[in-house]
Structure 1
Amino acid sequence: MTSPPLRDIQAVLFDLDGTLFDRETAVRDVVAGQYAVFSRELAGVTQERFVGRVLELDAHGYGDKSEIYPRVVRELGLPEPLAARLHAHFWDAYARTAHALPGARATLAALRARGLRLGVVTNGRVRVQEGKLRALDLLGALDAVLISEREQLRKPDPAIFRRAVERLGVRAAQACYVGDHPEKDVLSARDAGLHAVWLRTPHFPPPEVAHTAIDGLGELLALV
């Protein structure tokens, strides 16, 4: 179900991965780069097989990162210590990637020009998530950044959204949250009293609750 355009919005909050940050491209590039960095250890394994299996287990960001590389190493018959090195390399490279989704920077700038308060609510580690925002040059555009590790709260807990609107100085009904995941983003934001905006993606099914749906971040400018 799609709701009408939003009114009286004073703040816009965003998910990071898959919403502002092009996670799919970033992960593919990092893993492909690993094949080159670890070419000697991966000799005998094709790039297609290595990259494909890591991406499959990653499951668009919802695979257990601590288990992906040990499993890949076992399946490919590689030396066990290689798993820890691949895991550490992934997080170091991933935190420095600068893949913004189309329209991310321009949309934030346009919303800021209208006087709206802006923020990010994301799960993950502070070093990694702030590293991505820094690489994207978006930190300066945000009034609040809530990261699960620092907040000791994780989506889909509605409490992290309530904390976010409190920091922005608005009521939940005056804020919308934009994200790509139907439960962790859309449902949990609605449970916290925010307007939910789903950024359509082929990776997840549509949310089963009322929401506004967009195909690109630039469409927000016609909604708020």
Structure 2
Amino acid sequence: MRDDAGPSPGSSPLISTPLRDIQAVLFDLDGTLFDRETAVREVVASQYAAFSSELAGATRERFVGRMLELDAHGYGDKSELYPRLVQELGLPEPLAARLHAHFWDTYATVAPALPGARATLAALRARGHRLGVVTNGRVRVQEAKLRALDLLPYLDVVLISEREQLRKPDPAIFHRAVERLGLRAGQACYVGDHPVKDVLGARDAGLHAVWLRTPHFPAPELAHTAIDGLSELLALV
């Protein structure tokens, strides 16, 4: 689950040299290992099919397209999003709660991985790196994604904001992750797609920050390593 607020535009110098003395690689989940954009599109399309008889003639394109706009790449609050969607489409108000429940019941069962996710984790593990995930969200939903992606066997630690009672970009959740691995912050890098929650949070905690480039967010405002695909990590650490 993502926060509502997005980052401010900005850019910064890139760090292109290999990262030294990295013993652990930590990852964001949504948009980094888990292809959230594809998953949400599939869930919303399934909602249209499941509820089509109650959608008062709204076209699939209108229903799916407007839902994706309101979702805002994960920063739209679902508890507010569905009432707004129902109101805009002139649908019965109680339908919003049913759509909301359907989304969460279905979301974690649709688990497309980003290209190279499993292969990259397997290669890093084979090299002796410790691996983990630090993610905002609900325990039930995020753990279900990791199981569906079949990534848990590769992970030494999984920190989820609901369980930890800490949320990125708070440096404390990153500190907690490296402490559980028995390492120092400088011995770990963190890979994520969000310039504030991931890059700024990791940098503030003393980890090496790796930004997975995305068209959905502007570049981070501080120095970072940038990659276009997960497999590029293998040349960096």
Give the TM-score taking structure 1 as reference length: 0.99
Look up the match of 1:47: 60
> For residues 217 and 169 of structure 2, what CA distance do their matches in structure 1 show?
16
Look up the match of 1:163: 176
SS at match of 1:39: helix
Q: CA deviation at 1:43?
A: 3.4
Look up the match of 1:2: 14
Percent identical pairs in the alignment equals: 86
SS at match of 2:231: helix
Matched, 1:22 2:35: yes
> For residues 141 and 97 of structure 1, what CA distance do their matches in structure 2 show?
20
Look up the match of 1:92: 105
Query: Is contact 2:42-2:110 (8 Å) kept?
Result: no
> For residues 169 and 70 of structure 2, what CA distance do their matches in structure 1 show?
22
> Which amino acid counterpart does residue 146 of structure 1 have in structure 2?
L
Look up the match of 1:72: 85
Q: CA deviation at 1:119?
A: 0.3
Farther-moved stretch of structure 1 (111-120 vs 1-10): 1-10
SS at match of 2:20: coil
Matched, 1:130 2:143: yes
Matched, 1:185 2:198: yes
SS at match of 2:42: helix
Look up the match of 1:117: 130
> Which amino acid counterpart does residue 93 of structure 2 have in structure 1?
E
Map 1:200-211; keep pairs closer than 5 Å.
200-211=213-224
> For residues 205 and 78 of structure 2, what CA distance do their matches in structure 1 show?
28
> For residues 62 and 176 of structure 1, what CA distance do their matches in structure 2 show?
25
> For residues 54 and 169 of structure 1, what CA distance do their matches in structure 2 show?
43
SS at match of 2:18: coil
Look up the match of 2:167: 154
Q: CA deviation at 1:160?
A: 0.3
Structure 1 segments, 4+ long, off by >4 Å, are none
The unaligned stretches of length 5 or more in structure 1 are: none
> For residues 103 and 73 of structure 1, what CA distance do their matches in structure 2 show?
38
> For residues 97 and 67 of structure 1, what CA distance do their matches in structure 2 show?
23
SS at match of 2:180: helix
Matched, 1:56 2:34: no
Q: CA deviation at 1:44?
A: 0.7
Query: Is contact 1:5-1:212 (8 Å) kept?
Result: no
> For residues 152 and 162 of structure 2, what CA distance do their matches in structure 1 show?
17
SS at match of 2:53: coil
> For residues 118 and 53 of structure 1, what CA distance do their matches in structure 2 show?
37
> For residues 130 and 173 of structure 1, what CA distance do their matches in structure 2 show?
27
> Which amino acid counterpart does residue 235 of structure 2 have in structure 1?
A
Give the TM-score taking structure 2 as reference length: 0.94
Query: Is contact 2:56-2:91 (8 Å) kept?
Result: no
> For residues 82 and 42 of structure 1, what CA distance do their matches in structure 2 show?
9
Q: CA deviation at 1:66?
A: 1.0
SS at match of 2:80: helix
> For residues 64 and 156 of structure 1, what CA distance do their matches in structure 2 show?
18
The unaligned stretches of length 5 or more in structure 2 are: 1-12
> For residues 215 and 119 of structure 1, what CA distance do their matches in structure 2 show?
20
Name the count of aligned residue pairs.
224
Query: Is contact 1:98-1:135 (8 Å) kept?
Result: yes
Q: CA-atom RMSD, angstroms?
A: 0.6
> Which amino acid counterpart does residue 25 of structure 2 have in structure 1?
V
